[in-house]
Structure 1
Amino acid sequence: MDFKYIKLISAIVDCGSITKAAQVLNLTQSALSHQLKEAETLNGIKFFTRSNRKLNLTPAGKMVYDVSGKILPEISKLEVNLKNFNSLKHGTIRLSAACSTSYHWLPKLLQSFKSEYPNVDLEIILENSANPVNEIIKGKIDISIIISPIENENIDYKFLFKDELVVVFSEHHKFNKKQYLIAKDFIDEHLIIHSKPLDTVVFYEQVLKPKGIEPFKISELPLTEATIELIKVNYGVAVMSRKSIEPFIKNDSISIKKINPKGLYRNHYAAILKSSNHPEYLEKFISYLSRGL
């Protein structure tokens, strides 16, 4: 039996008349009468008898009404729960970070968000970070933190923050004598990068490549701590976020310098699926991400 007929019969009984029930259900009296007749025709049974302009439940009508007392509260509860899933209360956020080792602030941020929204689960998806736009479109991740937006009609980019990239090197390196570093300084250097391809490395794309500079050697090493240990023994240099490297320079065994006179900065964006129906908690989480630095 169609749910709308159960709701209709329940309203008639509770309101005591078709006229009042029609008002509650936002129907005209004739529309409600038509639906009642339709329900009786489809089921081949009468739900009401009429005497002295009053509607009385038949045994079949009473059966439907008794069941409605169990069904309608559950439907109402379901509707509330569904609204909660679309608001701030429940859900899952799958997050991908293209350069997760640079986001030293991320664990603390996630902890703060979880304390405010304990029923929203957070999953960090590392294996999909190489091609986040496609993964978002496929529905495999919800948000990706990226630094190089790829124009796509299905993706929205929300600016989060800007950070500075600096050169990191040993305290015994010749770079210590310079005020700042430029592209040609890296011709004879072993450059350690977080990951390939090179066109995703901001320093390479914006500083070295335009000047036609290729370092003597380029190595890929995704672990920040391991990179730092190599730099300490003067086995290469790296370009990292100033904020992420600050905790490591307290021991004075490594140094940092600006890139170019005005420095090198990069923007970070949250990439999400273009939609007007995102859960409210997703938008709230993006506002948390914007506090990153």
Structure 2
Amino acid sequence: MIDFFSTKVYSYYCNFDFMEIKYFRLIKTIAEEGSIANSSEKLFLTQSALSHQLKDLEEQLGFKVFHRTRNKWSLTEEGIELYNLGNSILKSIDSSFKNIENIRAGSTGTIKVSTECYSFYQTLPRFIQKMGILYPDINLDLILEATHQPITKLLSNEIDIAIVTSKPKNNLLTSIDIYEDKIFAIMHKENELSKLDYLTVSDFSNVHLIIHSYPLETVSIYEKLLKPNKIIPAKISAIPLTEVALKMVEANFGIMCLPKWTLKSFNISNDIVFKKIEKKGLKRNHFLVIRKSDKIKKYIRDFISNFTDEFSIE
């Protein structure tokens, strides 16, 4: 059995569907100022308009919110409950908007990026252009001179994000896994190694290896396969432009070792073949590395989120 009080409360609750924020501000201001006359200036409305609003409110509620006296307006018991409810709602709204302002304030900043893999410099400009459209308040700079020492530059605050293929061991930094790819040996179809199902580490002893740049420690095939096995190719040439390096390979003057995705923007000759390295393939991981102190910055988090979506390839 539902008693009268419960029914009445339920009826009031249903009537509150129409309650707008302006009504809570109206009740709060009149209660604190003591009258409609004193509230008019604060609410930027005439006394007549405020009286009309209050009258409409009380008619829809079905009870008086204020006791009117000549010199002082005071809340009814029901009015006190509405006043307390309104205070809670308005404080929550103000708090949320302050949080939003803080979030938005953290959405602006400059991010200096570098990568130890030259292949990324072919794809990053397109990503930077996309970020410029989505996040006009984030300024992205590519710092090419940090390519050979991205972690050192990150620790010295010369860059903000490093793209690397191995996690650094430093308590000041944190790493985010991006993706794993495979490195292939890229060669002319008439190269004698093209007859093999896959290349082993010993096959690199007599090759002319074309790399992007020195030092060798920045070259994935050297760091992950050749160096651990103490293999040095017969000849090594550093050619920073991928297009020129491909022409060398097309002329059968050497081989390159790169993931397939790095060559998507190039026209690959039918004379070029891709050979797996090692029976299971030579894999490498990619990580975004940032300073732990930057994790709280929203514009850094926005970069990481979008970079992960853009470059997470299998």
Query: In the alignment, what sits opposite 1:200?
Result: 218
Distance in 2, matches of 1:276 and 1:254, equals 44
Query: In the alignment, what sits opposite 1:124?
Result: 142
* Higher RCO by CA contacts (8 Å cutoff, separation 6 or greater): 1
1:255 equivalent to 2:273? Answer yes
1:218 equivalent to 2:236? Answer yes
Of residues 189, 197, 200, the one that matches 1:182 is: 200
Runs of 4 or more consecutive aligned structure 1 residues displaced over 6 Å after TM superposition: 79-82
Question: What is the alpha-carbon root mean square deviation over aligned residues?
Answer: 2.6
Equivalent position SS for 1:215: coil
Distance in 1, matches of 2:265 and 2:138, equals 31
Q: 232-241 vs 194-203, which deviates more?
A: 194-203
Equivalent position SS for 1:151: coil
* Alpha-carbon distance, 1:99 to partner: 1.7
Q: TM-score, normalized by length of structure 2?
A: 0.63
Query: In the alignment, what sits opposite 2:191?
Result: 173
Distance in 2, matches of 1:166 and 1:159, equals 21
Aligned length: 218
Of residues 97, 105, 129, the one that matches 1:85 is: 105
**2:189·2:273 contact (CA, 8 Å) conserved in 1?**
yes
Of residues 163, 168, 172, the one that matches 1:154 is: 172
Equivalent position SS for 2:146: coil
* Alpha-carbon distance, 1:91 to partner: 1.4
Equivalent position SS for 2:144: coil
**1:135·1:141 contact (CA, 8 Å) conserved in 2?**
yes
* Alpha-carbon distance, 1:131 to partner: 1.4
Structure index of larger Rg = 2
C-alpha distance after superposition, 1:48-87 (max 9, x if no partner): xxxxxxxxxxxxxxxxxxxxxxxxxxxxxxx98775331x
Query: In the alignment, what sits opposite 2:289?
Result: 271
Unaligned 5+ residue runs, structure 1? 1-14, 17-78
Distance in 2, matches of 1:271 and 1:253, equals 38
C-alpha distance after superposition, 1:151-199 (max 9, x if no partner): 1121111111111100011122112211111111122111111222223
Distance in 1, matches of 2:133 and 2:110, equals 15
Unaligned 5+ residue runs, structure 2? 1-31, 34-98
Distance in 2, matches of 1:249 and 1:209, equals 32
Equivalent position SS for 1:251: coil
C-alpha distance after superposition, 1:31-58 (max 9, x if no partner): xxxxxxxxxxxxxxxxxxxxxxxxxxxx
Tell me which amino acid in the other structure corresponds to 1:148: S
Percent of pairs identical after alignment?
33
Tell me which amino acid in the other structure corresponds to 2:223: E
* Alpha-carbon distance, 1:242 to partner: 1.5
1:191 equivalent to 2:209? Answer yes
